[in-house]
Chains A and B, each alone.
Chain A
Amino acid sequence: MISESDRPIVTRAGLLEGARLSAPLLPGVVVFAMTFGAAAAGRGLSLFEAALMSALVYAGMAQMVALEAWPQVWSWGVIGSLAVLTAVVNSRMVLQGASLHPWLRSHGHGFNAAHLFFLTDANWLVGSRYHAGGGRDLGVLIGVGLTMWVLWLAFTLPGYLLGAMVSDPRRFALDLVMPVFFAAMLVPLWRGRRAAVPWAVAGVVALLASKLLPGHLFILAGALTGMLTAALMPDDAAPEQAP
């Protein structure tokens, strides 16, 4: 039996509410999308390829990391390793999707499979807050996801055109757009020194691996070692040491 609170709800009003709740996220997604577009131009992707990636992959961090690992020569092995790298960067989505399960389970499989294409950090965060506050209209989750997708795709284009206008990317430091933007992300991610230990391990392992492993496997090696370090660290439920 489906209880009253489990009845599936998706409304137009919910979709519009999702679009409205996206407003505070607008500056962030616009800057990130333009940064990706400019970096894609610097890497030699065509405008169509950059737009295709934003439309189909729709995952900023994974797209940036892939650009960094973008090869000169294509082979099945290179394509496979890009797919694995993308899956590792996006593995947080598995957890995010799992946490939405109670909200999604009363909806049809086909419908869930369709709207989960738009699952991203933004709509997961906004949607989770809305659901935790008692909201049940799935339109809100989908509304934020769709709004972010449209913005992500739309602002990839001007970013690309700006990036492509620069004739000497190195002189204008456009080769550093990715690392600079990425490093700045560490500040909002900061949760204290303890939580940064896996980051330090990841950085050191990646640096060593970049000397030893071919291609861009060092990103994978660093990210996986960082995760492993965090998994093996004792739980921080114990009180922190006195400051």
Chain B
Amino acid sequence: MSAWLASLVAPGVTLAILAMALATYLCRISGHFMMHLIPLTPPLRRALAALPGSIVAATVIPIIERIGLSAGLAVGAALLAMLVRRNEVLALVAGLTVAIAARAWGL
């Protein structure tokens, strides 16, 4: 039964990865091959320029709301470390350290 379940579940993951790969590949080739179909208007340029930051905000803010104070403190510490030193490793270490301490304190 569990083997049957595993055979049912694992294809879901593999299919999802293949679907993600296909979606990404289509993004990669469509710009070049549909060049004449996409008018690069200023609004479209602005929209695409705003995309990375929008994804980050749309992902991170609901997580902070769901997980609570430890997540908020961790993200704050990482932002601070990044502002001061511009170093991703340091930001990651600072954020996780603050979160571990906050949780050890029961926050």
Contacts and interface: CB of A to CB of B under 8 A. Distances in A.
Interface of A: 27-28, 31-32, 35, 45, 49, 52-53, 56-59, 61-63, 65-66, 68, 74-75, 78-80, 82-84, 86-101, 104, 109, 112-113, 116-117, 119, 170-189, 195-196, 198-207, 210, 218-219, 221-223, 225-233, 235
Contacts of B47: 227-228, 230-231
B15 A116 contact: no
Most chain-B Cβ atoms within 10 A of its Cβ — which of A27, A113, A175, A222? A222
Interface of B: 9, 12-35, 38, 40, 42-67, 70-71, 74-75, 78-79, 81-83, 86, 88-89, 91-92, 95-96, 99-100, 103
A58 B82 CA distance: 25
Contact of A227 (B28, B51, B63): B51
Contact of A171 (B83, B89, B100): B100
Contacts, number: 290
A63 B60 CA distance: 15
A19 B30 CA distance: 25
B71 A176 contact: yes
A35 B95 CA distance: 13
Contacts of A104: 32
A198 B50 contact: yes
A230 B43 CA distance: 7
Given A82-B19, A180-B78, A187 B46 contact: no
